Chain A
């Protein structure tokens, strides 16, 4: 029997004596440093990566479908779970989209309460983000210091709404609880105590040469790439694009507040590297503290919630709002068909699109850098999969 036609061509790299093969590694759903259940299939040539393909869907809970069953009011606690690290923004987004559907105005004090809750949550979320980034790079102490401060913020928010992570603080038309008596003093005391600790954190890790060498010039995302791949929030601003929804497409009471928007300047490397994404978050914490102080000074008296019927039936139509969450531009889209259950609800989150750029920027990086990259993009799994 002849083997004609059955020969198999074996590719051998010409010229070299030994042939090398690339390794396919699985940074599986259970891994100490992918932030949540994320999976990456990594093809690596020794230490250098050739491809890093993300595999999402391990945390999918059909939240958007659940909205169609529980109704507008009942969906508010579910929005907490869309991004449980920064839940106030999700509450705020859902509240805003329902108010836009029905044409409801939130009273001024309610808006201020919303912004206060939002900015505290932004500080907490950024603390977790920078903390876990330093933990992934190898320094264990800054993580605990960041978590300690986050615990203090959680104590404040627990006093405000009764829960520490899934707040369910806001309702359609405003917020559910007014600020308790003595709250402003407690919050301002916390802010006074916390502000010097940011400088201490910078002394500990941000300026550390080993840390800077690990993150500077790693995974540079140019401004053009950032816009093309739809990055938002601190990721976008770190690449040099000066865009912040709170200032450029303002909502709520942000027009009355004065704050700056930190943009990546490439101080330790190039504009758009991991260090820029990290330092933009640290600077945003400082700006949030500034916003909070103004809020507590300017908050007026009055009701905090508008009159909204128990059976909420907005007119048929759709509405789309954008809110500047801790992870960037979070878009909420709801379609109503006139009944008290939404016809469709969709969330557009910043982490989902950030996953798409990981393959592009990780070509040529080392395995250790992949961890830094995922952490610097501040990807949280619940936002990716919903």
Chain B
């Protein structure tokens, strides 16, 4: 984006204005476009898509009355929430209570500064991009603790504390799983990491070595835990704590918390796709920059959204993990394994400084084999249950 603004200045658009102000103004405008045009819509549509995906898994039909196929359901839900009464509990801490949703939203929206939508569409390609992302998502913890404490409700407090412990713990395996990628590429900048991968699956970092393969799964699991998604959704465990730390929130403030939860899914998907799955890389089919960027944007969006769908699918399948089991999983399983991963990847890089085509091919074949076995099991279950089939997602 910086180069785009430079070209505008060279053409003489912002004559008397200092360049720093142009940059700042450009960032604000671009940020607004991203937030209003992209984040809100994607997070909103995700709520609708989640309900439809869940419904098909449950053998039922999701919302399909508001608008064609129910596509306007999320708008109507958002408007309904905005119209609700603004309740602040009498004994609650009024300033912290009101501030908490904004802190959480801040922690979420600022991650979009570094996410590369395509090779030219990124607000700021910082050279510490990955580190910035992991650091800024930790703001969410502060917001959740504030929400839990300020609600003056024991259940909210329990939810807030659980959530804080969870997010802080799972930062560690998440960070450790990103390190193998950093070791391979030698840079923390998102665009550089993506540029070092190719468009073909065997060039993606997930198949680079067995250690990155394991790191991929650990990163995805830890990111799910950081986003408070099942199987780690204790803070919102509906059946135990009513709604966890958001129990006392209603209307627009409640909307903010859930916007963050669903938007976070996209951020997780984007993070995983950018680091491990080749980001926006497309085969070089055209020279036209605009068309190329559009293709890259679409590819990146599809890859990220696929992981959003996968996390919805996982949420429908798995039960919830208990608090002590959550901590055990993190500290006794994920942290040691990610340490071993990191050391193994470092050792591998010392042994094979230029990578190994053989290892890449072997890992790609392994990935394909797992996928094939998965579809074999799906067909097995369909054969055993003999249900009525329908291949259309519409209803």
Contact = CB atoms under 8 A, between A and B. Distances in A.
Contact of B238 (A32, A141, A197): A32
Contact of A145 (B59, B239, B320): B59
Contacts of A197: 385
B382 to A, nearest CB: 10
Report the contact-size class of chain B (Cβ under 8 Å from the partner).
20 to 34
B239 A141 contact: no
Interface stretch (A166-174, A206-214, A326-334): A206-214
B385 A135 contact: no
Contact of A210 (B57, B58, B154, B231): B231
Contacts of B323: 47, 366, 368
Given A138-B233, A144-B60, A214-B322, A31 B242 contact: yes
Q: Is the interface of A mostly helix, strand, loop or mixed?
A: helix
A128 to B, nearest CB: 15
Contact of A368 (B54, B322, B386): B322
Interface string B312-355: 00011111111111000000000000000000000000000000
A34 to B, nearest CB: 10
B384 A134 contact: no
A367 B230 CA distance: 18
B240 interface: yes
A145 B324 CA distance: 29
A144 B316 CA distance: 11
A140 B55 CA distance: 10
B154 A23 contact: yes
A204 interface: yes
A68 B158 CA distance: 49
Contact of A33 (B60, B231, B240): B240
B231 A135 contact: no
B319 A208 contact: yes
A371 interface: yes
A41 interface: no
Contacts of B319: 134, 137-139, 205, 208, 210-211, 214
B322 A25 contact: no
B205 interface: no
A33 B239 contact: yes
B155 interface: yes
B126 interface: no
B316 A141 contact: yes
A366 B385 contact: no
A144 B239 contact: no
Nearest to A134: B319
Contacts of A185: none
Interface in B272-327: 315-325
Contacts of B241: 367
Interface in A86-144: 134-141, 144
Contacts of A228: none
Interface in A245-302: none
Interface in A3-58: 23, 25, 31-33, 47
A196 interface: yes
Interface in A355-372: 366-369, 371
13 contacts: A32-B242, A47-B158, A47-B323, A47-B324, A138-B233, A140-B58, A140-B315, A141-B317, A144-B60, A145-B59, A200-B385, A204-B317, A213-B322
Interface of A: 23, 25, 31-33, 47, 134-141, 144-145, 148, 193, 196-197, 199-200, 203-205, 208, 210-211, 213-214, 366-369, 371
Interface of B: 54, 57-60, 154-155, 158, 230-231, 233-234, 237-242, 315-325, 381, 384-386
Shortest 9 CB-CB contacts between residues of A and residues of B = A138-B320, A144-B58, A33-B239, A139-B319, A138-B319, A137-B319, A136-B239, A196-B384, A211-B319
